[in-house]
C-alpha cells in the first residue's frame, strides 16, 4: 500500500484526491467508487493490476474523502460528476482509458460512456446495471412507488436528516455492518440508524475485511461527513430532467457487467429478466455475457477482490 502515490489535482473547479500506481506509459484504468466508499475500495485491484502493467488511476469523487465537497446540492449532478472525470483525464493527458465502476461509480461510468464514448476503450461495471431513462416517471418517484417513503433513496431527499443521523453512529460499527451486508431479497432497506442498529447480534468482520480497513473508512467519513455522498441521491430527479436528450440512447463501448447474487441491486423487481433476457443487451449492444458471482454481496470488489481483478484483466487485455 505504501507504494501507491497520492496527489491533489485541480479539476472542474474542485480539488480531487487521486491515488495512482503503475507505469506511466502503461494502459490506464480509471476506477470509480460508489457510496459510501473511497478510492480505498479499489486497493486490491490497484496492486493486482499495476503489477500486470496497467496504470491505475483512482480518485475520491467530489464530496468524498480528501476531495472537495461543494456545499450546494446542485453541484452534484451527473454532469458535474462526469465532468470531473473528463477534466481529470485531460489533466493527465489521457485521451482514452479503461473504466471500472461500482455502485454510484457504475452509474457515473454508464453516463460517462453515454456522453463521451470517445474517451473509453472498454468498461467493466459492477453491481448496478444500466437503467434506461423512463420519460414517464422521475427516478425518486419510481423507487417510492416500489418501496415507500422509508426506502433509503427517498429518505435521503430531505436535506440534513439522514446525514446527521448516520454521522451520529459509531462509524466502525456502521462500516462493518454495511460492507458485510447480505440482502438476498433486495431493495427494501431504509439506511436509518434504527434499522442499522436493530440487530443485537455481535458483528464479526468477514475474512476479506480487516480492522485496518474499517478504521480507514471510519476515519475519513468522520472527517468529511456523509452529505457529499448523499447529495448524489438528491440530484437523481435533477439528473432525470437533465438527461432527457439521451432518452433511448445506447452505451456503445465494449462492456462487461458483474453482479453478486445476494446483492440488493440484483433483486430489484424485474431486474434479472432485464439483465439476462436481452433488455440490457439492447441498450449495451457490445455487452459480454453478464457474470453472476454466487454468494457475493453488494461490495463485490472488496469481498471477491482477486476474482474481480482477474475478470477485469481477462476482459481488458484483449483491447
Q: What is the set of active-site residues?
A: 103, 233, 298
| CB-based contacts of 293, cutoff 8 Å, min separation 6 | 258, 259, 260, 261, 300, 304, 307
CA distance to 6, 70, 106, per residue, from 66 (Å): 10, 12, 21
50 and 56 Cβ atoms separated by less than 8 Å = yes
DSSP 3-state assignment of 283?
helix
Q: What is the CA radius of gyration of the chain?
A: 18
55 and 20 Cβ atoms separated by less than 8 Å = yes
* Burial category of 194 from C-beta neighbours within 10 Å (exposed 0-12, middle 13-18, buried 19 and up): exposed
Cα–Cα distance, 9 to 67 (Å, whole number): 9
DSSP 3-state assignment of 56?
strand
Counts for the chain of helices (H) and strands (E), in that order: 15, 8
DSSP 3-state assignment of 241?
helix
Cell of 170: 459509531
Q: Which stretches within 51-138 are classed as H helix?
A: 78-91, 104-115
Cell of 73: 446540492
61 and 11 Cβ atoms separated by less than 8 Å = no
Could you check whether the bond before residue 78 is cis, i.e. omega within 30 degrees of 0?
no
Amino acid at each position: 500500500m505504501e507504494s501507491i502515490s497520492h496527489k491533489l489535482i485541480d479539476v472542474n473547479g474542485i480539488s480531487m484526491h487521486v491515488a495512482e500506481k503503475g507505469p506511466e506509459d502503461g494502459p490506464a484504468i480509471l476506477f470509480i467508487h460508489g457510496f459510501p466508499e473511497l478510492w480505498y475500495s479499489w486497493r486490491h485491484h490497484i496492486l493486482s493490476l499495476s503489477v500486470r502493467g496497467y496504470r491505475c488511476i483512482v480518485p475520491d469523487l467530489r464530496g468524498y474523502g480528501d476531495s472537495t465537497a461543494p456545499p450546494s446540492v446542485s453541484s452534484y449532478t451527473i454532469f458535474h460528476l462526469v465532468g470531473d472525470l473528463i477534466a481529470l483525464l485531460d489533466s493527465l493527458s489521457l485521451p482514452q482509458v479503461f473504466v471500472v465502476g461500482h455502485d454510484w461509480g457504475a452509474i457515473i461510468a454508464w453516463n460517462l460512456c453515454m456522453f463521451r464514448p470517445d474517451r473509453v476503450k472498454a468498461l467493466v461495471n459492477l453491481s448496478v446495471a444500466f437503467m434506461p431513462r423512463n420519460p414517464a416517471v422521475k427516478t425518486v418517484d419510481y423507487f417510492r412507488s416500489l418501496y415507500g417513503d422509508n426506502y433509503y433513496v427517498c429518505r435521503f431527499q430531505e436535506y440534513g436528516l439522514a446525514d446527521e443521523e448516520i454521522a451520529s453512529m459509531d462509524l466502525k460499527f456502521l462500516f462493518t455492518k454495511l460492507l458485510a451486508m447480505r440482502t438476498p431479497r433486495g431493495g427494501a432497506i431504509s439506511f436509518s440508524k434504527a434499522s442499522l442498529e436493530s440487530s443485537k447480534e455481535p458483528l464479526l468482520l468477514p475474512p476479506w475485511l480487516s480492522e485496518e480497513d474499517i478504521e480507514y473508512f471510519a476515519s475519513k467519513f468522520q472527517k468529511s461527513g456523509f452529505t457529499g455522498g448523499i447529495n448524489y441521491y438528491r440530484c437523481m430527479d435533477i439528473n432525470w430532467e437533465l438527461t432527457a436528450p439521451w432518452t433511448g440512447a445506447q452505451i456503445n463501448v465494449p462492456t462487461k457487467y458483474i453482479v453478486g447474487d445476494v446483492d440488493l441491486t440484483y433483486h430489484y423487481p424485474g431486474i434479472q429478466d432485464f439483465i439476462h433476457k436481452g433488455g440490457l443487451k439492447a441498450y449495451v449492444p457490445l455487452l459480454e455475457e453478464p457474470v453472476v458471482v454466487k454468494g457475493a454481496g453488494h461490495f463485490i470488489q472488496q469481498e471477491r477482490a482477486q476474482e474481480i481483478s482477474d475478470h477485469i484483466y481477462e476482459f481488458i487485455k484483449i483491447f
